[in-house]
Each structure stands twice: as structure tokens, then as C-alpha cells.
Amino acid sequence: MDKLVIEGGRPLSGTIRIHGAKNAALPILAASIMAGGKHTIENVPDLLDIRVMLNILRALGCRAEHKGETVFLDMSTLDSSHIPEALMKQMRSSIFLMGPLLARFGEVQVYQPGGCAIGERKINLHLDGLQQLGAEIREYGNTIVCKATRLIGAEIMLDFPSVGATENIMMAAAMAEGITTIHNAAREPEIQDLQNFLNRMGANIIGAGTSTITIEGVKKLIPCAYRIIPDRIVAGTFMVAAAVTRGNVTLEHVCPAHLTSVIHVLRRAGVQIHIDDDIININCRSRPKRLERIVTSPYPAFPTDLQSQIMVLLTLAEGLSVIKETIFEGRYKHVDELTRMGADIRVDMNSAFIRGVPRLYGATVEATDLRAGAALVIAGLAAHGTTIVEQIHHIDRGYDRIEFMLSRLGASISRQAVPMRKKLTLENALPPIIKQTLIEY
Ligand SMILES: CC(=O)N[C@H]1[C@@H](OP(=O)(O)OP(=O)(O)OC[C@H]2O[C@@H](n3ccc(=O)[nH]c3=O)[C@H](O)[C@@H]2O)O[C@H](CO)[C@@H](O)[C@@H]1O
Ligand SMILES: C=C(OP(=O)(O)O)C(=O)O
């Protein structure tokens, strides 16, 4: 178990390159099993979730190697459609394998997935969608068995534009008989990336990026080489970090079009942003302005995955700001930690009221989930004194060595190992003299 130790108060300055998108890479790695043979996937970041996905692929019989930022996959040895429960529970994205395994084997056994505790995160829309394509689904406690002798195209209307359900259905439908139309589909850029990857393998899909996706099933997919899009949430995190520390930072290898809502919100807060092709410069010299209302909603609106980070900026803005979180009911766990650093925040239902304070103070805080952890790191960079962020395995799920990237921008941040605590048992708690007496007795 590691922790991050941050000495705050230094403006970030310099240039860094943004790594590939976790949320694009994970479904694409899952989709690759639909084509037997060798794939090369580039711009894949070295994240905990990616490691888990590669371990699942290995457990299913594939060969998978991650060298630098390239993943080499050989799907010709894939021989199982049963995801081990222990691996399934390590992240939410293990559910992405359901559609592809069903398409390839006609059956799949999975378990309820794990992942960050940010809400209930049901999988009913995934299961309903697969059922509409002809799958028969049985649930035995935690175990889900899904079978389909034939997958047949269907008209599917999602009750909510779920990112994961849209992706799972797209993948299964890519090899179904006939045409599938997904209405009220999610429109995130990662869905367009998945469409591009599937089409590169020979699928026939149009419409990703809009609310209606049409998939004409094909009989066979072929392996391919593909490059993952840049991570818009990592880019957004660094944009906020630059602004909060009143720094001047240039981000390379980003896709500004994927960050429209974020750029708009930061500009409203008084942050200067310059865009040049795939480069974004963030410059902030003064105290941020308050933001009356930020509402997290499906893309292209402001992303829930940047809600905790933007909240840090608002803790230091002049006046009262309001955030409304509409995607995950449990995504305000960073609030208590920020309060311990001096922030003034009140939460009422899904709204957070943030009254800006002149400064935050260093404290020992705990990352409760991935983006909450990133927010605490940003708060530590801006705070007076030392901040220690614990439970950083959550942060490692989505940021490739965050401390390394921030150090390159002049931050004082280091990763330190936390010594393993001795398990507290009655025996461990007894002083040696009493232990000896007991043994003799
Ligand atoms: C790996 C990945 O891409 N993760 C992203 C993906 O997660 P994920 O795909 O899990 O998010 P969804 O869009 O599916 O979830 C959004 C909302 O729908 C609900 N829901 C979802 C599915 C379902 O079957 N039933 C149901 O009720 C969820 O509980 C949540 O309240 O989109 C989220 C919303 O942008 C992001 O925060 C995550 O970073
Ligand atoms: C919630 C997130 O991811 P996941 O869906 O993988 O838990 C995230 O990336 O912020």
C-alpha cells in the first residue's frame, strides 16, 4: 500500500503528454476477443484496471503482453468463456467482456462486477439489451450465466444512455444476425472509439457519437492494429490542477473537441485556455470566479468523472458555487476529506454548495475512489503545508504514475510505501511479559 506525500503551494508549470484513455482502452481490449488472431493496440496506459483486464484475457486463454504503451494480443488460444470471480470483482469494466464472449462462444459466465463505490451501479440495462438480442440470462445469487444459440438484431431503447450498456450491446450486436438499432445510446467519445475499432475489425456500425447507433451484424471479425484516443478525464484533471495552483501548463496529445464542456466551465471561472490542434495551454493568475451551477450529465455535458476535481477549484473561488451530481448517487465522498483540509462545503441530496475559502491546509486524507483521489491530490497541490493521500490504489486505476506527471510540472510530490500494519489480535496487543506469563500458565 502506497501513499502520496505532497508539499503544496507551488504553481504547476511546464508541458506534459496525456496518456491514452482508460475508458476507451478497456472495452476495446474486451472487444478484441471477437476476432481470433493477433492484435496490436497502441497508446494503452499502464493502469491497474488495464492490468486486471489483461489478466482476465490471460485467464480466458489469450496471450497478452504490455510493452511500453503497446499491448500485443493473441486471441487464437482463447478457450474459455468463464471469467474467474476474483478477477471479475476487481473492477467494473470486467462486465465489458459479457457481450464479446457471448458473441464468440454463444455463452458466458460472469459475476456481479466490482469497481469504485460511487453508487449502486446496476447492470440491468446490459442484461436487458443482451436479452433483446436473444440471450437467455439466468442469475444464481452472484453468478450470471448468459446463453444464446443465435444472436439476432433488435430495436433496443435504453431507458438511460448508459455508457457500458451501449458498449456491451454494440459488441454483441456486431456479430448478431441482421440489424440492431440502439436508441438513446450514450454519446461519449469512447463509444466512437469502440465503433472505430470494431469497424477496423470488419464490423459494420454507424452512428456512434449520436443517440442512435445502427449495427449490421457480420459473420466474422478479423484482428487489427489500433490506436486509443487520449484520456479526456486525465486531461481535464491536469487542467484543473494547473488552474488551482495558479500555474501555466501545456498539455500535448489531447483532443480538445472532447473537452468542450470542461473548457467552457474553466473559462467561466476565469481560467485562460488556448487551443492549438492537439495542444491545450492553461494559464491562471488570479483567484477563480464562482460558478453558479455545474450539472454533471451524460456527454457532451459536464462529466461526472471531473466533478470532484472541479469542486476543488470552487473551494478556492470567490463566493458560493453549486454543483449538482446527476449520474452517481454516491459521488460526494471527497467532500468530508476536503472539509478536513479547510473547505466549506454543504451537501443536500445531490447538490453541493461550496463557499470559497482563501486557502486550504494540508492534512492526511483518504482516496475513497478514483476521481475523489485525484481531487485530493489537486487539493494537496494548492494547500498550505503537507498533504498525505492514502489508499492511492484507487488513483492508480486511472492515472499512469500521477506523481511522475505532476513532478514534471514542478510539483513536490512523492510516493511512499506504507508499512504493513501488524494484524491486531488479542495476542499481538498483549505486552510481552503478560504473554510469557500466559504461556507459562
Ligand atoms: C469504464 C467506463 O467507461 N466507465 C465510465 C462509464 O461507467 P458506466 O458504464 O458504469 O456508467 P453508466 O453510464 O452505465 O452509468 C450511469 C448511470 O446509469 C446507471 N445504470 C447503468 C447501467 C445499468 O445497467 N443500469 C443503471 O442503472 C448507473 O448506476 C449510473 O447511475 O460511464 C460513467 C458515466 O459517464 C463514467 O463515470 C465511468 O468512468
Ligand atoms: C468511475 C470510473 O471508472 P469505472 O467505471 O471503471 O469505475 C472513472 O473512470 O471515474
Average pLDDT, integer, range 165-193: 98
Spatial neighbors of 317 by CB under 8 A, at least 6 apart, are: 269, 287, 288, 289, 290, 291, 354, 356
400 in a known ligand binding site = no
The fold for domain 22-227 equals: UDP-n-acetylglucosamine1-carboxyvinyl-transferase; Chain (3.65.10)
Picking from 32, 26, 62, the residue whose alpha carbon sits closest to that of residue 47 is 26
Residue 274: strand, helix, or coil: strand
Residue 117 confidence (pLDDT): 86
Whole-number mean pLDDT of the chain?
95
Judge whether residue 422 has pLDDT over 70: no
Residue 423 confidence (pLDDT): 55
pLDDT tens digits along 400-409: 999 999 999 9
Q: Is the CB of residue 93 below 6 angstroms from any atom belonging to ligand 2?
A: yes
Residue 418 confidence (pLDDT): 84
Average pLDDT, integer, range 325-337: 97
Residue 441 confidence (pLDDT): 47
Q: Examine the predicted complex and report whether its ipTM is higher than 0.90.
A: yes
Residue 419 confidence (pLDDT): 80
Q: Is the CB of residue 187 below 6 angstroms from any atom belonging to ligand 2?
A: no
Judge whether residue 359 has pLDDT over 90: yes
Record the pTM: 0.95
Residue 64 confidence (pLDDT): 98
Q: What is the CA(162)–ligand 1 centre distance, in A?
A: 5
Judge whether residue 53 has pLDDT over 70: yes
CB-based contact 180:173 (threshold 8 Å): yes
Q: Is the CB of residue 160 below 6 angstroms from any atom belonging to ligand 1?
A: yes
Q: Which ligand is nearest to the Cα of residue 371, counting in written order?
A: 2
Average pLDDT, integer, range 240-268: 98
Atom 22 of ligand 1: nearest residue by CA position: 123
Task: Please compute Rg for the chain using Cα positions.
Answer: 23
The continuous run of DSSP H or E covering 180 comes out as strand 179-183
Q: Is the CB of residue 126 below 6 angstroms from any atom belonging to ligand 1?
A: yes
- Is the CA virtual torsion 282, 285, 287, 293 positive or negative? negative
Phi first, then psi: give them for residue 339, nearest 5 degrees: -65, -40
What are the extents of the domains in the chain?
2-18+230-417, 22-227
Judge whether residue 434 has pLDDT over 70: no
Domain 2-18+230-417 matches domain 22-227 at the CATH topology level: yes
Judge whether residue 192 has pLDDT over 80: yes
Average pLDDT, integer, range 44-66: 98
pLDDT tens digits along 81-98: 999 999 999 999 999 999
The fold for domain 2-18+230-417 equals: UDP-n-acetylglucosamine1-carboxyvinyl-transferase; Chain (3.65.10)
Q: Catalytic residue numbers? A: 116
421 in a known ligand binding site = no
Looking at the chain, the whole-number percentage of residues with pLDDT higher than 70 is 95
CB-based contact 89:72 (threshold 8 Å): no
